[in-house]
Structure 1
Amino acid sequence: MTVCGIGGLLLLFGLGMLTYIEQDDARHNFGHTGGFICPWVPLLPILSILINMYLLLNLGADTWMRVSIWLLIGVFVYVIYGRTHSSLQHAVYVPASHVDEIYQSSVE
């Protein structure tokens, strides 16, 4: 497949997902403060996808190569750093069925 074919499939998938997702009309009322609200759904997200696809398809091969190399370097650094600096490195995993027992014994 060419880059255009892959881009077309991604575009169709994105458009399909945007039309599949139902927007709750109640959260678009004036004065609503909860959650993220995207104006002009689904027009704005579809337009954003199209513009970004156009920009990405017009990048040269050398740019994609540089981005790929930097992403691989970043993933490598992230994995190495995460293994040695993880806050979950010494975590004790307890089955959910024993949580209440452990909590009760620590409170007493």
Structure 2
Amino acid sequence: MVGSERRFSAEVELTLFRIIQEALRNVSKHSSASQAQITVIFNKQATRVTIEDNGKGFTLPRNVSDLTRLGKLGLAGMQERARLLGGSLKVESDSGKGTKVIVEVPV
């Protein structure tokens, strides 16, 4: 954890928990990773949570809207949850190099 910890409303905290839970479920189910790490950064404008693993990674589609079409419903659901909080969700991944999920929500 980096920065001064802050609390959110119960709804925001539950939504962030569900996003993190789904990201870790994906690590367990798909990545073949030996490690996963969660980092939380609190700053004045937003809180950023990063979930990253050292797994096999995957090739991302060009358009995030293609995630649903490709059957990646968990990622699409996480993105929708972040959007409902006024935030964003970004996925970075390359085959053989692991995956990083970054969710950012405004204060």
Q: Please report the TM-score for the alignment, with normalisation by the length of structure 2.
A: 0.29
Structure with the larger strand share: 2
Structure with the larger helix share: 1
- Between Structure 1 and Structure 2, whose CA radius of gyration is higher? 1
Q: Please report the TM-score for the alignment, with normalisation by the length of structure 1.
A: 0.29
